[in-house]
Amino acid sequence: MDFLIIAAVAFAPGLFWLWYFFKKDKVHPEPLHLIRKCFVWGMAAIVPAGFLELSFGFVSSFWQFVFVAPIIEELIKFWIVRLTVYERIEFDEPIDGIVYAAAAALGFATVENVLYLFQAYRTGAGTVATLAVIRAFLSVPGHALWSAMWGYALGFAKFSDAKRGRELVVKGMLLAIGLHGVFNLVCLSGPLFAVGMLVLVPIFWSIANRRIHEAIAASPFTNVSAKAAAPGSSDLYKEDSEKDEVS
């Protein structure tokens, strides 16, 4: 019974935040089967990420946590999206990059959450409850927010020329790794943890929300919806169709 309860508690935040980011794509939502695909592959990615991070056992735990882990984890999540959904026709607007990035990131974060909570279970239920709350509002959504940086870049890169696309992705990846590393650094700050999070979390959400709004605004489907909702737009479309018929 304890196993099922902890598993449910560990999975709940990832599923909630997955729903949250999925609902951001209101105009032209992505197919649920592709969202699930990225989420499941994100879950599976914990295995190669773990092995790769262990291979850097020769560096200190500080370097592991602040530099090695963010680099490996963000790159693996990126390649999940790049190799599974990026070339599909359903990936047809900039916001899709953020949505799929969040799905892969939350799959990864969910398995990571399971591992952390079961590890904490050995020290007592109080520890599990505290850790579950902290991770539900910080670490789990954090993975989605960091990956949204390269997801945003990937979304715009698909509709840019190759050179510009590469530049966007590199910048997005560096930002994701940087934010991830800063978060991990604050986690090591001991008594300054709470203060650091009060500063960092609003910054993370501000950056991510700005990118979400920019990606939605750049969508061709957003533009079509805006035109259709504009006053007198139906008359304009009617006039255009009449002109086409005459011509």
- Give how far the C-alpha of residue 76 lies from the chain's centroid of Cα atoms, to the nearest Å: 13
Residue 246 pLDDT exceeds 50: no
Please give the average per-residue pLDDT across 123-136, as a whole number.
86
Residue 197 tokens read as: 């999070």
Residue 22 pLDDT exceeds 50: yes
CA distance to 1, 5, 121, per residue, from 105 (Å): 28, 23, 24
Structural domain span for residue 32: 2-246
> Is the pTM here over 0.85, yes or no?
yes
Please give the average per-residue pLDDT across 184-203, as a whole number.
93
Of 141, 156, 159, which Cα lies nearest the Cα of 197?
141
Question: What is the tally of structural domains in the chain?
Answer: 1
State the number of CA atoms in the 13 A half-sphere of 156 facing the CB.
22
Q: What is the pLDDT of residues 114-129, one digit of tens each?
A: 999 999 988 876 788 8
For residue 225, the model assigns a pLDDT of 52
Of 10, 6, 8, 13, which Cα lies nearest the Cα of 137?
13
For residue 223, the model assigns a pLDDT of 64
For residue 122, the model assigns a pLDDT of 81
Residue 243 pLDDT exceeds 50: no
Residue 68: exposed, middle, or buried by beta-carbon count in 10 A (0-12, 13-18, 19+)? buried
Cα–Cα distance measured from residue 132 to residue 138, given in angstroms and rounded to the nearest whole number: 10
